[in-house]
Chain A
């Protein structure tokens, strides 16, 4: 599924980031394909807020739709 569908509180693993811009931003912020992140907030039809370690990032819906994730068990 894509990141915009992840429910709040869910931990996910990033599978692929299709948008090249989003991918480069993410890598520099500390998130890459294979990273385990937690969705700590979500605004309906708006940004998804992720946390990895101590880093919080807000990702707009446009980018979130282009990020494939897998539920972390």
Chain B
């Protein structure tokens, strides 16, 4: 195969040569990519986040950053992406985590067996020293037969040497696994890319005996090399190992997780959603900004209809900027800041291990907790990360639960803010109700959907203290992405609502939905607006809540109902794209039904 295929895959027009960055998850590929091309990409410390493929330019080359994989095969969508890029390019920079040499060299040797021209980057050499590990790089170079560059990319160490190696074109084909040719010959195959690909089943998820034999041969060879090139003193890992065990052991891990969630609630719900937002939304936007704009518009525009559209209760210059910049912006930034710390520390896969047993009961394994936690950031984004799950069945259950029970970042902030005003027992009741629905619906889905769930098999990366610069960068890019995506939808939603309000259509809709909203849910009729907004964006709906006067119990019913209410327009679109219209309509209609049913029952119990 030639390079044209990668150009086509990634829709790259230029005829520059391509170098693919390939390596296991969390080895620092994205940091190296960033240092080479000067372009930022998401850097994270848990398996499976780099789903999109980024590319950038280094001199006359196009550098392609591939999703992290443990081997070239088809076990997940990430692997398929990396497999396709590897199979259609010849030059590869293989990034290896020096601390996990024995694991990472499997992929290295596999790339060598495919006769790719590679340069191996031994990254994170500073951690090797810290952990008292000694690697004989010269010996490793001889065994593999390729150029090896040692780096600590996050500190910029060794990047010059890597650039020099690229400039001098030190890409080489290495030494194939001994006896691999004999094994292939005995099965009547040649030692070439195509035959090996077929023997290893890389285009297929089924597993053959020959594939097992090749894997075992390669593993044995790598273990041999490893035992000759690396020496370490196990005492030096003691502290990190102890901490890791504390996080996984239910006796200590569950209280730690609860404490972490409480800190998150306090940070988002109390500090940001109440104290900071009180200043940004009420003071800065509500008082100074709105006071100014209202005066200017009322002086310049005489039409009452236009005035209403611009600075009325749903005005494009009033409600929209006040909520968007005063309320959502601080919440979204705060959430992503917190989430970036969690991701980069390596804690997420440990949570997955801790909750595996509980999730087994609803047909999932611990891995599903990763998209669920990410769902608190943005359900749409989390729906995309369900690609890391191994079976279709697990994906369908997780996506449904995400759409139904998980509030996204800004919604979570608003809910936390409102609920902390209601009181502690409301918080407990809220968590119990949503948790109960999560468990029950999960159980029902796992009974309905055919097939079996897979067992957990997850890599626990080293625990690290996250770097502030990386967290800030990540917070900036994630918040920006979120807000850029939300901006046009908010404008359209505001215009729609403003139009409905200015033409009195809103009143007609409110009268129409009255039996449900005021009759069944026992809420003020303006709540209809919250539901309309929630369909468009859940967080916008929640934001609308802040302005409607209610009793404590009415507020509680609204919070539960809007949490369970339908996924937003963007989530709906993504679910349709990934799983078809039939499934997304099923999610949408059943979410609405469950939300109204639970809300109604709750209302009849607590609202007199």
Please report A residues at the B interface, Cβ cutoff 8 Å: 19-30, 32-33, 35, 40-41, 43-47, 49, 51-64
Given contacts A43-B354, A54-B131, contact A33 B216 (CB under 8 A): yes
Asked if B219 contacts A30 (CB within 8 A), the reply is yes
Residues of chain B from 215 to 266 with CB closer than 8 A to chain A in the complex: 215-216, 218-220, 222-223, 226, 232, 237, 241, 244-245, 248-250
Asked if A62 contacts B455 (CB within 8 A), the reply is yes
Residues of chain B from 365 to 422 with CB closer than 8 A to chain A in the complex: 365-366
Instruction: Tell me if B457 is interfacial: C-beta within 8 Å of chain A.
Output: yes
Asked if A43 contacts B106 (CB within 8 A), the reply is no
Asked if A60 contacts B459 (CB within 8 A), the reply is no
Chain A interface secondary structure, helix, strand, loop or mixed? mixed
Given contacts A25-B457, A41-B249, A63-B456, contact A58 B352 (CB under 8 A): yes
Of the residues A20, A45, A49, contact of B353 by C-beta under 8 Å? A49
Within the assembled complex, what's the spacing in Å between the Cα atoms of A3 and B181? Answer: 34
Contact with A along B80-114 (1 / 0, CB 8 A): 00000000000000000001101100110000000
Asked if A58 contacts B458 (CB within 8 A), the reply is yes
Of the residues B70, B207, B462, contact of A21 by C-beta under 8 Å? B207
- A20, A22, A28, A35: residue with the most chain B Cβ atoms closer than 10 Å: A28
Within the assembled complex, what's the spacing in Å between the Cα atoms of A43 and B455? Answer: 14
Within the assembled complex, what's the spacing in Å between the Cα atoms of A64 and B365? Answer: 14
Within the assembled complex, what's the spacing in Å between the Cα atoms of A55 and B207? Answer: 24
Within the assembled complex, what's the spacing in Å between the Cα atoms of A47 and B71? Answer: 23
Asked if A54 contacts B216 (CB within 8 A), the reply is no
Instruction: Tell me if B454 is interfacial: C-beta within 8 Å of chain A.
Output: yes
Within the assembled complex, what's the spacing in Å between the Cα atoms of A44 and B103? Answer: 27
Instruction: Tell me if B357 is interfacial: C-beta within 8 Å of chain A.
Output: yes
Chain A proximity of B364: nearest CB distance (Å): 11
Report the nearest A residue to B211, measured CB to CB: A24
Asked if B216 contacts A56 (CB within 8 A), the reply is no
Instruction: Tell me if B349 is interfacial: C-beta within 8 Å of chain A.
Output: yes
Of the residues A20, A35, A41, A44, contact of B245 by C-beta under 8 Å? A41
A contact residues around B459 at 8 Å (CB): 29, 55-57
Asked if A56 contacts B244 (CB within 8 A), the reply is yes
B contact residues around A20 at 8 Å (CB): 207, 212
Asked if A54 contacts B237 (CB within 8 A), the reply is yes
Q: Show 29 A/B contacts (Cβ-Cβ < 8 Å), sorted by A.
A: A21-B454, A23-B207, A24-B73, A25-B70, A30-B102, A30-B223, A41-B245, A43-B248, A43-B250, A43-B354, A43-B356, A46-B353, A46-B360, A49-B460, A52-B102, A53-B100, A54-B99, A54-B100, A54-B133, A55-B102, A55-B103, A57-B457, A58-B349, A58-B353, A58-B460, A59-B455, A60-B360, A61-B357, A64-B455
Asked if B70 contacts A29 (CB within 8 A), the reply is yes
Asked if A30 contacts B456 (CB within 8 A), the reply is no
Chain B proximity of A53: nearest CB distance (Å): 5
A contact residues around B354 at 8 Å (CB): 43
A contact residues around B107 at 8 Å (CB): 28
A contact residues around B456 at 8 Å (CB): 47, 58-60, 62-63
Within the assembled complex, what's the spacing in Å between the Cα atoms of A8 and B357? Answer: 17
Within the assembled complex, what's the spacing in Å between the Cα atoms of A41 and B216? Answer: 26
A contact residues around B458 at 8 Å (CB): 57-58
Asked if B106 contacts A30 (CB within 8 A), the reply is yes
Chain B proximity of A27: nearest CB distance (Å): 4
Report the nearest A residue to B212, measured CB to CB: A23
A contact residues around B455 at 8 Å (CB): 19, 22, 59-64
Within the assembled complex, what's the spacing in Å between the Cα atoms of A62 and B396? Answer: 21
Chain A proximity of B228: nearest CB distance (Å): 14
Asked if A45 contacts B357 (CB within 8 A), the reply is yes
Asked if B460 contacts A57 (CB within 8 A), the reply is yes
- A30, A33, A57, A59: residue with the most chain B Cβ atoms closer than 10 Å: A30
A contact residues around B75 at 8 Å (CB): 24-25
Chain B proximity of A13: nearest CB distance (Å): 13
A contact residues around B211 at 8 Å (CB): 24
Residues of chain B from 190 to 228 with CB closer than 8 A to chain A in the complex: 207, 211-212, 215-216, 218-220, 222-223, 226
Asked if A55 contacts B100 (CB within 8 A), the reply is yes
- Give the top 9 A-B pairs by smallest Cβ distance, nearest first: A60-B456, A62-B455, A46-B357, A60-B455, A56-B460, A58-B353, A28-B70, A63-B455, A30-B103
Report the nearest A residue to B355, measured CB to CB: A46
A contact residues around B207 at 8 Å (CB): 20-21, 23-24
Within the assembled complex, what's the spacing in Å between the Cα atoms of A61 and B352? Answer: 14
Within the assembled complex, what's the spacing in Å between the Cα atoms of A55 and B234? Answer: 12
Within the assembled complex, what's the spacing in Å between the Cα atoms of A46 and B366? Answer: 10
Contact with A along B118-162 (1 / 0, CB 8 A): 000000000000010100000000000000000000000000000
Within the assembled complex, what's the spacing in Å between the Cα atoms of A17 and B357? Answer: 21
